[in-house]
């Protein structure tokens, strides 16, 4: 994760087994944004252990403790939510998607769709064996997203990994000039 140090101060960082939480404070208005960089294990047996430190429960507990709604989650969730997020191979619904959907609902998180591609992972096999999936995503709290004119995710070109990096852009455009008002009476 990178940010503009001319605009943001890093005021807190928490590192857990499956995520890093970074709290950034805007130098101008002192508004804080909390960003979670997520890595969810690939195998189902690694996703859920019976103790409170499991990946999903630990993340949920941290989010439940937050009073700030300026929250962004981004990274490798290693699951697809819907069949249309996969091409090739067979679709098997991941039982852990319910946990992600619950987190999204409870914390008003929206999935920011990529504007330039659909898939973030590729197995790089040829022909019928090729499988691509949308495993990596950016989730943003609706309150934070509504503070900007628009926001979008962009999938970058892959290098050595089978996952494609993602960027998030949140922008405020300058207000438009006044639009002339015309009135016509008939």
CATH architecture of 8-171: 4-Layer Sandwich (3.60)
Q: Tell me, what's the pLDDT at 21?
A: 96
Per-residue pLDDT of the chain (186 residues; tens, 9 = 90+): 788 899 899 999 999 988 999 999 999 989 999 999 999 887 655 555 433 347 888 999 999 999 888 999 999 998 889 899 999 988 888 888 888 999 999 999 999 888 888 888 888 899 989 999 989 999 999 999 888 877 888 888 876 888 888 888 888 764 545 555 555 555
Q: Which residues contact 171 (CB under 8 A, 6 or more apart)?
A: 148, 149, 150, 151
CB-CB contact of 86 with 80 (8 Å): yes
Calculate the CA dihedral of residues 37, 41, 46, 48 and round it to 10 degrees: 50
The structure's pTM equals 0.83
CB-CB contact of 18 with 55 (8 Å): yes
d(CA 17, CA 1): 17
Q: Tell me, what's the pLDDT at 131?
A: 92
Q: Tell me, what's the pLDDT at 185?
A: 57
Buried b (16+ CB within 10 A) or exposed e, 99-116: bbeebbeebebebbebee
Three-state DSSP class for 163? Answer: strand
Could you state, in order of their start, the residue ranges of all structural domains in the chain?
8-171
The C-alpha angle 49, 1, 133, rounded to 5 degrees, equals 60
* Inter-CA distances, 2 with 10, 42, 46, 49, 115, Å: 11, 25, 28, 31, 20
Q: Which residues pair with 8 in a beta bridge?
A: 26
Q: Tell me, what's the pLDDT at 156?
A: 86
């Amino acid at each position: 994760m990178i940010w503009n140090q001319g605009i943001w101060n890093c005021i807190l960082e928490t590192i857990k087994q499956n995520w890093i939480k970074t709290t950034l404070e805007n130098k101008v208005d002192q508004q804080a944004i909390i960003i979670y960089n997520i890595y969810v294990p690939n195998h189902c047996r690694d996703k859920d252990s019976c103790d409170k430190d499991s990946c999903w429960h630990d993340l949920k507990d941290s989010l439940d403790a937050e009073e700030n709604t300026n929250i962004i989650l981004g990274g490798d969730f290693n699951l697809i939510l819907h069949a249309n997020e996969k091409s090739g191979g067979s679709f098997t619904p991941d039982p852990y998607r319910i946990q992600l959907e619950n987190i999204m609902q409870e914390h008003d998180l929206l999935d920011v769709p990529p504007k330039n591609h659909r898939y973030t992972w590729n197995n790089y096999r040829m022909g019928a064996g090729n499988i691509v999936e949308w495993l990596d995503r950016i989730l943003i709290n609706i309150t934070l997203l509504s503070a900007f004119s628009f926001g979008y995710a962009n999938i970058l070109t892959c290098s050595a990994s089978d996952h494609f990096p993602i960027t998030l852009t949140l922008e405020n455009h300058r207000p438009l000039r006044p639009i002339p008002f015309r009135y016509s009476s008939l």
